[in-house]
Amino acid sequence: MRRGAAASSNRLQAYRGKRDFGLSPEPAGGQAKKPGSTLVYVIQRHLASHLHYDLRLEEAGVLKSWAIPKTPPEAPGEKRLAVETEDHPLEYASFEGSIPKGEYGAGTVAVWDRGTYDPLETTAAKRIIDIHGRKLKGVYALIKLPVRKGEKDKNWLFFKTGPSPNPRSKPRTP
């Protein structure tokens, strides 16, 4: 196994530990990506115990993931809570289907938006990205919120800051 594949495999430990792949149609992961290809962006509509949207950004061989309790922001000024969840395998970007009752995340998953993104600024507490999706287009920010007493260190704010500095007529397909 290549070094990058081993690192992404370790990053998927929490994801794999929550799922029984004999029961769930979700991908287990492990597929390598072609070097030099564009970075994947996807938002999935997830009707589980409550409706939410899962934002996923390709980073270091996995999909970094955040659950957004409301419809993703399409206009500047709309801000949404984004709760960081476990990393998902790259194959999850195209996953649509039903997760069986009794399994982690039980419910229906459908792609709401997909495309690519360009990272403009990335730190441990901030990601500024240029999204090239079918629905979402433009520069978006993910800002980590300060931890309040009794809360986990997983809350972020997701919002649009403005138009893309490099607009495209249509999104690139990952």
Q: What does the pLDDT average to over 153-166?
A: 93
Of the two residues 149 and 18, the one the predictor is more confident about is 149
Over pLDDT 90: what percentage of the chain?
A: 62
Q: What is the pLDDT of residue 119?
A: 97
Q: Is 81 exposed, middle or buried (0-12, 13-18, 19+ CB in 10 A)?
A: middle
Q: Is 105 exposed, middle or buried (0-12, 13-18, 19+ CB in 10 A)?
A: middle
Q: What does the pLDDT average to over 152-158?
A: 92
Over pLDDT 70: what percentage of the chain?
A: 82
pLDDT digits (tens, 9 = 90+) for 5-53: 445 568 778 766 666 677 776 667 777 666 667 999 999 999 999 999 9
CB contact set of 99 (below 8 Å; sequence gap of 6+): 24, 25, 26, 48, 105, 106, 107, 108, 109
Is residue 10 within a helix (H) or strand (E), and if so which, with residue range?
Answer: helix 3-11
Quote the tokens at residue 36. 């030099």
Q: What is the pLDDT of residue 149?
A: 80
Pick the closest to residue 73 from 145, 154, 142, 136 (CA basis).
136
Separation between Cα atoms, residue 113 and residue 109, nearest integer Å: 12
Q: What is the pLDDT of residue 172?
A: 57
Mean pLDDT of the chain: 86
Q: What is the pLDDT of residue 80?
A: 98
- Residue 107, pLDDT > 70, answer yes
